[in-house]
Amino acid sequence: MATSVAIVFCVAGVSILFLYQSVRTPIAASDQFLVIESGAGLSKIARQFENQGFTHSEWPVIFWGVLSGISASLKAGEYFVETGETPAQVLGKIGRGEIFERKVTILEGVTFREMSARLAQAKKLKDQLSQMSDTEVMNTLNLDAPSIEGSFFPDTYHYVLNESSVDVLSRAAVKMDRVLTEIWESRSADLSISTKYEALILASIIQKEAMLEAEMPVISGVLQNRLKIGMRLQTDPTVIFGLGPDFDGRLKRSHLKKDTAYNTYTRHGLPPGPIAAPGRAALLAAVNPSETEFLYFVAKGDGSHYFSKTLAEHNQAVKRFIK
């Protein structure tokens, strides 16, 4: 009898040791993703481990899940499993909810159309925007603005499986509102703009005009000087935006004369809305311009600009830098 009991305990001990070693053995399968569906229990997850080659059997996973208490805290989502990890480590990830996150970057200076195209290309991000009008997007996100342009802060955003492009835009809209409010509160006195939205519009023009961040406050100063004296802004990016899909990449003199709501050669003041997504530096420049007497600037061809106080000086600079 004693011998039989000893054998039972010995077999049980060996079995437990085997199960323990199994969940501690590094996974030989190549890197892959594991998707845990909502409501999936330990048994189903254990079968997934076996089917995807993480372990030779589901039982070691069930054993470890119960023994460690992880079975009570399993979280749905997509998990990345690397070669060399152990089944116990992977199960620990699922228990802690270390869901795999992908990322997509919204660049400074892009239009909403360009932004939508970028989001449509993001891996495993559901594309809802292609089926929605701008108005529908604005209504969905509760955006209170005349235009959808400029509503989203350019940055890198993380997302998980089953999230959509609208989910990403929602976070970008919240961030733009927060950053814009924060920056507006730090504005200088005696600006040529009087509202946050005007700051956003001006920042979008600065973003498109400046290649060098250091020049943004100077360009802001030029534009605000013009606004103060009722001089037209005469910025090419606003003309290009107003042309829309008709613009083929070559700006002509005839374009400067073609009146649109955004043509700052034919109309005074700011355009009715932003022309792109401005970043933090452009927003800061819009509300904290350099104190300058410049009224003109022209691109030098190396990313920087030549600034002038008078039209005569500007015309000379144009002859020098525009070939």
Write the pLDDT tens digit of every residue in 282-321. 999 999 999 999 999 999 999 999 999 999 999 999 999 8
Give the CA dihedral 110, 111, 112, 115, nearest 10 degrees: -30
Name the pLDDT band for 17 (thresholds 50, 70, 90). low
Of the candidate CATH numbers 3.30.530.20, 3.30.750.24, 3.30.1490.480, 3.40.50.300, the domain formed by 19-96 belongs to 3.30.1490.480
Q: Which of 210, 200, 216, 267 is nearest to 237 (CA)?
A: 210
**76 neighbors 36 (Cβ within 8 angstroms):** yes
Place of tokens 């730090």: 186
Q: Number of helices and strands (H, E) in the chain?
A: 13, 6
SS3 202: helix
Percent of the chain with pLDDT over 90: 77
List, for residues 184-243, the tens digit of each pLDDT value. Answer: 999 999 899 999 999 999 999 999 999 999 999 999 999 999 999 999 999 999 999 999
User: According to the model, what pLDDT value does residue 191 have?
Assistant: 95
User: Is 18 a residue whose pLDDT tops 60?
Assistant: no
Query: Regarding predicted confidence, which is higher, 17 or 323?
Result: 323
Task: Tell me what pLDDT residue 63 has.
Answer: 87
pLDDT of 141 higher than 80: yes
Query: What pLDDT is recorded for position 19?
Result: 64
- pLDDT tens digits along 42-83: 999 999 999 999 888 888 899 888 988 888 899 999 999 998
Instruction: Locate the domains of the chain by residue range.
Output: 19-96, 102-181, 188-321
pLDDT score recorded for residue 230: 96
Cα-based angle 238, 251, 213 (whole degrees, multiple of 5): 55
Long-range contacts of 17-23 (CB under 8 A, 24+ apart): 18/60, 19/59, 19/60, 19/63, 19/64, 20/60, 20/63, 20/64, 22/55, 22/56, 22/57, 22/60, 22/87, 23/55, 23/60, 23/61, 23/63, 23/64, 23/86, 23/87, 23/88, 23/91
DSSP label at 49? H
Q: Are the C-beta atoms of 289 and 202 separated by less than 8 Å? A: no
Q: DSSP letters of 238-286?
A: HHHHHHGGG--S---HHHHHS--TT-TTTS-S--SS-SS---HHHHHHH
In this structure, of 107-116, 224-233, 242-251, 260-269, the range with the lowest mean pLDDT score is 242-251
